[in-house]
């Protein structure tokens, strides 16, 4: 039996749902029941009724799914798929910042470990960061771990004092202002749509800044014939498939998140066959991180 057919059959037998992030390969997205940005995936996982959730993404996404829906069996198909930005911060870093700024709230980007979420007050995603920061009563906000998303939010919410941590996404941080300048010169009629994980000086060139879902929506509703996309190649591929009449360019060549591309159909098949280990977290991590994640979902 072909692997796609086998996944479909196993999915029904195990009462499973397959959720995928937009950066996953198109063949993985094609076997998924739903595809979304990290905020949508967290909500889908929280409300999933199936017994098994196969989360095709990186580790923090699968951990968030487990924390928000702890009675389910959650699999991360490519077990080595981490997020290098999430690995840039430890709980101790947050604890030290809290000691330095005792009046500040701690907002933690979901691209972080469960242990870091557990020592934070509330989580956010790129699509909810501004709303979350605005919702806080504290004037001082420690924002971890993404310095670029943090400084983007600081500009949008000037009445807050945002204390940044020097983390970054290696894929987005690689884009320099010179790349944006080159892209603009090569395609002067194109609009630039960029993810807030890009550097501040790159975002200055953007006509639209938003999460992966935001960029997709903006591109699909745009009347422009040419668009330059400042995020991972997965979004470029989806748009090229969805909008064949438009010219879709990448802000920089080979903008690939290697971890997101680790998921293969065979990994999904192994999870559904019960041959892979489900996501497990300690009771302490689950409880601490749950509060921060649930606060995010409820804002
Ligand atoms: P989104 O929240 O836009 O899905 O982004 C997740 C991510 O990891 C971007 O690098
Ligand atoms: Fe992490 Fe960047 Fe990959 Fe997103 S694109 S998962 S932030 S490394």
Six-digit token pair at 259? 């971890």
In three-state secondary structure terms, 229 is: strand
- Contacts of residue 49, Cβ cutoff 8 Å, sequence gap at least 6: none
62 CA distance to ligand 2 centroid (A)?
14
- Asked if residue 169 has its Cβ within 6 Å of ligand 1, the reply is yes
3-class SS of residue 83? coil
pLDDT mean across residues, the chain: 96
DSSP label at residue 222: -
Would you state the structure tokens that stand for residue 213, as one six-digit string? 């879902």
The predicted model gives 148-158 an average pLDDT of 98
Site to probe by mutation for ligand 1, drawn from 43, 126, 208 as the one with most ligand atoms within 8 Å of Cβ, is 126
Task: Answer yes or no: is pLDDT of 292 > 90.
Answer: yes
Quick one: which atom of ligand 1 is closest to the CA of 36?
4
Confidence at residue 235, expressed as pLDDT on a 0 to 100 scale: 97
Using the mean position of ligand 2's atoms as its centre, give its distance from the Cα of residue 60 in Å. Answer: 10
Sign of the Cα torsion 258, 264, 268, 270 reads negative
Is the CB–ligand 1 distance for residue 112 below 6 Å? Answer: no
Q: Are 206 and 135 in contact (CB under 8 A)?
A: no
145 within 8 A of 89, measured Cβ to Cβ = yes
Indicate whether residue 169 lines ligand 2 (CB < 6 A).
yes
pLDDT of 1 reads 81
Residue nearest to atom 3 of ligand 2 (CA): 257
Describe the crossing of helices 212-221 and 38-47 by its angle, rounded to 10 degrees: 110
Three-state DSSP at 198 gives coil
The ligand placed nearest to the CA atom of residue 196 is: 1
Determine contact, residues 238/167, Cβ cutoff 8 Å.
no
| Ligand having the closest approach to the CA of 87 | 2
Beta carbons of 145 and 109 less than 8 angstroms apart: yes
User: Does the Cβ of 235 fall within 6 Å of ligand 2?
Assistant: no
Instruction: Give the whole-number percent of the chain exceeding pLDDT 70.
Output: 100
Question: Which pLDDT value is given to residue 65?
Answer: 96
Q: Whose CA is nearest to atom 1 of ligand 2?
A: 83
Cα 69 to ligand 2 centroid, rounded to whole Å:
23
SS3 content of the chain, % helix, strand, coil (to 5): 45, 15, 35
Q: With a 6 A CB cut-off, is 24 part of the ligand 1 pocket?
A: no
The full 3-state SS of 97-117, as one line of letters, equals HHHHCCCCEEEEECCCCHHHH
Domains of the chain (ranges, CATH numbers): 3-83+260-280 (3.40.50.10800), 86-169 (3.40.50.10800), 175-250 (3.40.50.10800)
Spatial distance between the Cα atoms of 87 and 144, rounded to a whole number of angstroms: 12
Res 112 pLDDT > 90: yes
The whole-number pLDDT of residue 298 equals 87
> At 58, is the pLDDT very low, low, confident or very high (cuts 50, 70, 90)?
very high
The structure's pTM equals: 0.95
């Amino acid at each position: 039996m072909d692997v796609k057919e086998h996944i479909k059959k196993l999915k029904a037998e195990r009462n499973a749902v397959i959720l995928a992030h937009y950066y996953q390969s198109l063949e993985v997205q094609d076997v998924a029941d739903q595809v979304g940005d990290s905020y949508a995936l967290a909500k889908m996982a929280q409300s999933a009724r199936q017994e098994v959730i196969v989360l095709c993404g990186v580790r923090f996404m699968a951990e968030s799914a487990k924390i928000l829906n702890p009675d389910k069996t959650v699999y991360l198909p490519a077990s080595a798929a981490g997020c290098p930005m999430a690995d840039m911060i430890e709980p101790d870093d947050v604890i030290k910042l809290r000691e330095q700024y005792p009046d500040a709230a701690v907002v933690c980007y979901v691209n972080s470990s469960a242990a870091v979420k557990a020592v934070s007050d509330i989580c956010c995603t790129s699509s909810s960061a501004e709303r979350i920061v605005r919702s806080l009563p504290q004037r001082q906000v420690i924002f971890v771990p993404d310095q670029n998303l943090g400084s983007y939010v600081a500009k949008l919410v000037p009445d807050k004092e945002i204390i940044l941590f020097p983390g970054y996404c290696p894929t987005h941080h690689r884009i320099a202002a010179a790349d944006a300048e080159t892209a603009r010169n090569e395609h002067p009629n194109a609009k630039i749509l960029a993810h807030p994980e890009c550097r501040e000086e790159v975002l200055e060139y953007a006509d639209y800044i938003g999460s992966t879902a935001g960029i997709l929506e903006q591109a699909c509703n745009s009347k422009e014939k040419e668009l330059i996309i400042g995020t991972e190649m997965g979004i470029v591929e989806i748009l090229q498939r969805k909008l064949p009449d438009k010219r879709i360019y990448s802000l920089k060549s080979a903008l690939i998140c290697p971890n997101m591309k680790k998921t293969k159909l065979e990994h999904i098949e192994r999870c559904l066959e019960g041959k892979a280990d489900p996501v497990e977290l300690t009771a302490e991590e689950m409880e601490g991180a749950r509060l921060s994640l649930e606060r995010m979902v409820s804002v």
